[in-house]
């Protein structure tokens, strides 16, 4: 973690996911509020969880005060099966949460996107991620940290598509021949990097690709040592 002296009031969505499940334990000592569709968050001093449909998440922040908003939520094609629902979760749910957190006072947003995210891409997936990035960047946060990891490695159970599973299986070989930005990376590594960013001073929009993510995670390991 960074050396912020006062506990940060953090609003988090995605605590049950691949990255969020690794991130939450790293936030002990912070004032964490998780918004989720089902109860999942462990117990720790200062932690709270509000459970309800994701359409209700913005309303759950109306009487809260937030310093940092963190969005690790993301779905898979295997789970939703259509672009409309994918857009509803990976773009609109994130943007609506971020807007409500900004209204609740958050100065910083940390959000997981994807390598190669681009509103002008020919890939619908990358377009949605690029639109989400542009939307949250326009909300008036003092600082926005956008995580753009490559293919995420880690346990997701049955949600993974066959092609995604094969990609992860072959990643040690494939990583030798593809650009670093799109190489496979562990979800836990991304979580460690995000924990390092919580409460950091500074302003503007910063994009973190695999190289920056690994460097932040390595710094976290040095701090714990």
All domains of the chain, ordered by start, with CATH?
9-224 (3.40.50.720)
pTM for the full model? Answer: 0.87
Q: What is the pLDDT of residue 175?
A: 54
Per-residue confidence in pLDDT tens, the chain, 225 aa: 444 557 899 999 999 999 999 999 999 999 999 999 988 877 788 899 999 999 999 999 999 999 999 999 988 777 888 999 999 999 999 999 999 999 999 999 999 999 999 999 999 999 999 999 999 999 999 999 999 999 898 875 444 454 555 544 444 554 555 677 888 899 999 999 999 999 999 999 999 999 999 999 998 776 554
Euclidean distance between CA atoms 1 and 56, whole angstroms: 30
Burial letters 99-131, b for 16+ CB under 10 A, else e: bbbbebebbbbbbbbbbbbeeeeeeebbbbbbb
Token representation of residue 45: 């001093």
Q: What is the pLDDT of residue 120?
A: 95
Q: What is the pLDDT of residue 178?
A: 65
Instruction: Pick the closest to residue 149 from 131, 175, 169 (CA basis).
Output: 175
3-state secondary structure of 157: helix
């Amino acid at each position: 973690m960074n050396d912020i002296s006062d506990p940060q009031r953090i609003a988090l969505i995605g605590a049950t996911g691949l990255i969020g499940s690794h991130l939450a334990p790293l936030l002990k000592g912070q004032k964490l509020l998780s918004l989720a569709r089902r109860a999942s968050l462990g117990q720790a001093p200062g932690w709270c969880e509000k459970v309800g449909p994701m359409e209700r998440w913005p309303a759950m922040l109306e009487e809260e005060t937030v310093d940092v908003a963190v969005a690790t939520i993301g779905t898979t094609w295997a789970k939703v099966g259509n672009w409309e629902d994918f857009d509803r979760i990976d773009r609109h749910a994130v943007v609506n949460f971020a807007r409500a957190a900004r209204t609740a006072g958050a100065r910083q947003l940390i959000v997981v996107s994807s390598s190669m995210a681009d509103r002008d891409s020919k890939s619908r997936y990358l377009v949605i991620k690029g639109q989400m990035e542009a939307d949250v960047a326009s909300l008036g946060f003092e600082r926005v940290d956008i995580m753009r990891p490559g293919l995420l490695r880690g346990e997701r159970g049955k949600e993974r598509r066959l092609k995604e599973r094969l990609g992860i299986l072959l990643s040690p070989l494939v990583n030798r021949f593809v650009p670093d930005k799109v190489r496979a990376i562990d979800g836990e590594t991304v979580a460690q990097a995000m924990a390092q960013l919580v409460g950091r001073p500074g302003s503007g929009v910063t994009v973190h690709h695999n190289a920056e993510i690994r460097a932040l995670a390595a710094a976290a390991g040095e701090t714990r040592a």
